[in-house]
C-alpha cells in the first residue's frame, strides 16, 4: 500500500469513528512480528439480517467540509489534518482489503467537500467502480448527502445495500443553534426519497423479478445525545416519528464526545453520557418490539429516563395499578409490559398455556427473569414479591441505596 494512501486511511478512518451507525471499532495493537495486526485501520462490524457478524471498512471519503457544525470534529473552522481519497483509491482499498480477507463490506461516508452534489457524485463513482469494474457483490452502507440531486440518490440506492441520512440533532431548535447551515427539511427530503424508492422497488419486484432492488437493507439514521439540551422525551418522540414516517430500520444514538469548545456546547471535560445512550437504546427497543408509545414512557412532567433503572422498569413502577398480572390469563401484549419478560419468553408463555397451566417453577425454564418479574406477577394466584406491593419498596429491592461512596483524590 502506498504511504500516502496509508496516511489518508489513518486520518479518514479516525474521522469516521464518531459515526455509530455501524458500531464497534477495533483495538490499537501493533503486529507482533508473528501473525496478525489490530491497528486502527477502520475495521468495524455490523450484523446482517440473519445474525451474521460482517466486518466493514469504515472510512470517510474526505474530512474536508464546508459546514461549520459546532459539535463536529470535521467542521471547517477546526485546524486538523485533512485528507481526501479519490474514488479510485477507495475502490482499490476496498478490493485489496477484501481479497486479504480483512473485510466483507464497506461503510462509506464523507464531509461535504465543495457542495452536496460534488460529494455525492464522488461517492456514486466509488459504487460504480466497485460494482461494475471490480464486480464487487459485498455489503455496502453509504451515507446519503442531504441536498444532493435526487438522481444521484436514486443511482446510489440501486448500487448500495443500506443508506442512511444522519439527523444528528434531535430537534429543529438544536439544529438552528449548533448547525445553522443545515435545514431540517433538507435532511428529511432524501429520507423520503429513499422510503419511496424502497416501496416502489418492493412493489415492482412482485411483477418484474428483474427490477433492480433499491436499498434492500433499508435506511437508518443517527442522533447525537448530549450535545444539545434536548430531553429524552424529545429524542424518543422524534425517533418514533422517524420510524413511522420513513420506515427506518434503525435509529442509532451516539453519546456526544466533546471535541470542540463553544458557548452552546457542554464543557470539553464532560464525560460522554453512555448510560443515557444505553437507556435510549432500551427505549428504542420498547418502541419497536414491545408496542410501547413514546408518550407512555415519558411526559412533559417527567421528560428524562432514570439512569438507575431501565425504561420498562421505570414505566412499571409508575403504573403499579396494572400489577400484579396473572401469567396464566393476561394477553401477549400485557405480558410484554412485565419487567423480566421479553418477546421470546412472552411467546413461550402463550404456547405453554395452550398445553396447561404454567407453574411458578416453570417460569425460569421459559426464560423469564424471575428476580425482576416476581414483583409484578402472580402465577396460579401465587405471589412471590414483597408483602407490601408499592413503588418505593420494589425500587429499593431492585436498586439498593449505596451507603458508601468512592472518594476522589482531587
Which CATH number fits the domain that encloses residue 254? 3.20.20.70
Domain presence at residue 99: yes
Confidence band, pLDDT 50/70/90 cuts, at residue 10: confident
Domain presence at residue 34: no
Give yes or no: residues 183 and 279 share one domain: yes
Domain presence at residue 255: yes
Cell numbers standing for residue 218: 433499508
Mean pLDDT of the chain: 88
- Give 258-311 pLDDT, tens digit per residue: 988 888 999 988 899 999 999 999 999 999 999 999 999 999 999 999 999 999
| Residue that has been written with the C-alpha cell 461549520 in this structure | 68
Mean pLDDT within 172-190: 91
- Give 204-225 pLDDT, tens digit per residue: 998 988 888 999 989 999 999 9
Q: Cis omega (within 30 of 0) on the bond before 210?
A: no
On the 0-12 / 13-18 / 19+ scale of CB atoms within 10 A, 4 is: exposed
Burial letters 122-141, b for 16+ CB under 10 A, else e:
bbbbbbebbbeeeebebbbb
Is a pLDDT exceeding 80 seen at residue 380? yes
Mean pLDDT within 112-121: 94
Distance CA 408, CA 22 (A): 36
Res 21: pLDDT? 59
Stretch among 39-43, 58-62, 234-238 having the lowest mean pLDDT: 39-43
Give yes or no: residues 10 and 133 share one domain: yes
Is a pLDDT exceeding 80 seen at residue 50? no
Res 26: pLDDT? 39
Mean pLDDT within 20-29: 47
Is a pLDDT exceeding 80 seen at residue 197? yes
Higher pLDDT, 166 or 53: 166
Number of domains in the chain: 2
Give yes or no: residues 289 and 321 share one domain: no
Mean pLDDT within 392-401: 84
Global pTM reads 0.86
Give yes or no: residues 289 and 365 share one domain: no
Res 103: pLDDT? 86
Give yes or no: residues 169 and 221 share one domain: yes
Give yes or no: residues 229 and 345 share one domain: no
Is a pLDDT exceeding 60 seen at residue 196? yes
Give yes or no: residues 284 and 356 share one domain: no
Mean pLDDT within 83-100: 92
Domain presence at residue 31: no
- Residue that finishes a domain, picked among 252, 275, 297: 297
Domain presence at residue 62: yes
Give yes or no: residues 151 and 194 share one domain: yes
Domain presence at residue 406: no
Higher pLDDT, 41 or 222: 222
Domain presence at residue 410: no
Res 262: pLDDT? 87
Residue 60, beta-bridge partner list: 109
Domain presence at residue 191: yes
Is a pLDDT exceeding 50 seen at residue 27? no
Give yes or no: residues 170 and 285 share one domain: yes
Beta carbons of 37 and 81 less than 8 angstroms apart: no
Closest CA to 91 of 173, 159, 193: 159
Cell numbers standing for residue 55: 466486518
Give yes or no: residues 179 and 327 share one domain: no
Res 43: pLDDT? 65
Res 410: pLDDT? 57
Stretch among 34-43, 164-173, 276-285, 400-409 having the lowest mean pLDDT: 34-43
Residue 322 is part of which domain span? Answer: 311-398
Res 168: pLDDT? 87
**H, E, C per residue of the chain:** CCHHHHHHHHHHHHHHHHCCCCCCECCCECCCCCCCCECCCCEEEEECCCCCEEEEEEEECECCCCCCCCCCCCCCCCCCCCCECCHHHHHHHHHHHHHCCCCCEEEEECCCCCCHHHHHHHHHHHHHHHHHHCCCCCEEEEECCCCCCHHHHHHHHHHCCEEECCCECCCHHHHHHHCCCCCHHHHHHHHHHHHHHHHHHHHHHCCCCCCCCCCCCCEEEEEEECCCCCCHHHHHHHHHHHHHHHCCCEEEEEECCCCCCCCCCCCCCCCCCHHHHHHHHHHHHHHHHCCCCHHHHCECCECCCCCCCCHHHHHHHHCHHHCCEECCCCCHHHHCCCCCCCHHHHHHHHHHHCCCCCCCCHHHHHCCCHHHHCCCEEECCECCCCCCCCHHHHHHHHCCCCCCCCCCCC
Phi/psi of residue 322, each to 5°?
Answer: -85, -10
- Residue that finishes a domain, picked among 250, 272, 297: 297
- Residue that finishes a domain, picked among 297, 319, 344: 297
Confidence band, pLDDT 50/70/90 cuts, at residue 36: very low
Mean pLDDT within 157-185: 91
Share of the chain above pLDDT 90, in %: 66
Give yes or no: residues 292 and 331 share one domain: no
Give yes or no: residues 358 and 261 share one domain: no
Amino acid at each position: 500500500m502506498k504511504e500516502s494512501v496509508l496516511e489518508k486511511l489513518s486520518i479518514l478512518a479516525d474521522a469516521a469513528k464518531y459515526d455509530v451507525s455501524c458500531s464497534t471499532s477495533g483495538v490499537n495493537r501493533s503486529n507482533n512480528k508473528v501473525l496478525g495486526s489490530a491497528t486502527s485501520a477502520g475495521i468495524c462490524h455490523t450484523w446482517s439480517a440473519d445474525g451474521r457478524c460482517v466486518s466493514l471498512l469504515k472510512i470517510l471519503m474526505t474530512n474536508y467540509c464546508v459546514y461549520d457544525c459546532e459539535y463536529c470534529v470535521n467542521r471547517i473552522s477546526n485546524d486538523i489534518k485533512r485528507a481526501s481519497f479519490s474514488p479510485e483509491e477507495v475502490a482499490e482499498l476496498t478490493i485489496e482489503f477484501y481479497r486479504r480477507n480483512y473485510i466483507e463490506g464497506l461503510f462509506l461516508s464523507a464531509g461535504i467537500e465543495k457542495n452536496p452534489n460534488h460529494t455525492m457524485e464522488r461517492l456514486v463513482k466509488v459504487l460504480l467502480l466497485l460494482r461494475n469494474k471490480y464486480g464487487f457483490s459485498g455489503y455496502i452502507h453509504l451515507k446519503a448527502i442531504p441536498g444532493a440531486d435526487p438522481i444521484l440518490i436514486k443511482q446510489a440506492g440501486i448500487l448500495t445495500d443500506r443508506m442512511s441520512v444522519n439527523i444528528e440533532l434531535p430537534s429543529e431548535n438544536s439544529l438552528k443553534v449548533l448547525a445553522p447551515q443545515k435545514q431540517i427539511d433538507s435532511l428529511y427530503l432524501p429520507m423520503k426519497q429513499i422510503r419511496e424508492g424502497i416501496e416502489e422497488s418492493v412493489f415492482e419486484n412482485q411483477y418484474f423479478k428483474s427490477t433492480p432492488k433499491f436499498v434492500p437493507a433499508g435506511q437508518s439514521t443517527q442522533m447525537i445525545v448530549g450535545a444539545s439540551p434536548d430531553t429524552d422525551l424529545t429524542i424518543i418522540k422524534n425517533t418514533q416519528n422517524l420510524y413511522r414516517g420513513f420506515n427506518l430500520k434503525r435509529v442509532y444514538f451516539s453519546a456526544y464526545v466533546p471535541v470542540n469548545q463553544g458557548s452552546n456546547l457542554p464543557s470539553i471535560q464532560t464525560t460522554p453520557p453512555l448510560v443515557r445512550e444505553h437507556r435510549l437504546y432500551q427505549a428504542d427497543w420498547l418502541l419497536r418490539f414491545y408496542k410501547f408509545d413514546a408518550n407512555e414512557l415519558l411526559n412533559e412532567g417527567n421528560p428524562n429516563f432514570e439512569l438507575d433503572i431501565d425504561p420498562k422498569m421505570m414505566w412499571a413502577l409508575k403504573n403499579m395499578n396494572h400489577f400484579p398480572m396473572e401469567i396464566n390469563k393476561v394477553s401477549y401484549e400485557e405480558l410484554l409490559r412485565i419487567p423480566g419478560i421479553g418477546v421470546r419468553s412472552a411467546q413461550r408463555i402463550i404456547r405453554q398455556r395452550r398445553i396447561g397451566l404454567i407453574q411458578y417453577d416453570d417460569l425460569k425454564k421459559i426464560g423469564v427473569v424471575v428476580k425482576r418479574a416476581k414483583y409484578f406477577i402472580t402465577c396460579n394466584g401465587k405471589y412471590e414479591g414483597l408483602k407490601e406491593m408499592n413503588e418505593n419498596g420494589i425500587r429499593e429491592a431492585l436498586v439498593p441505596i449505596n451507603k458508601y461512596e468512592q472518594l476522589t483524590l482531587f
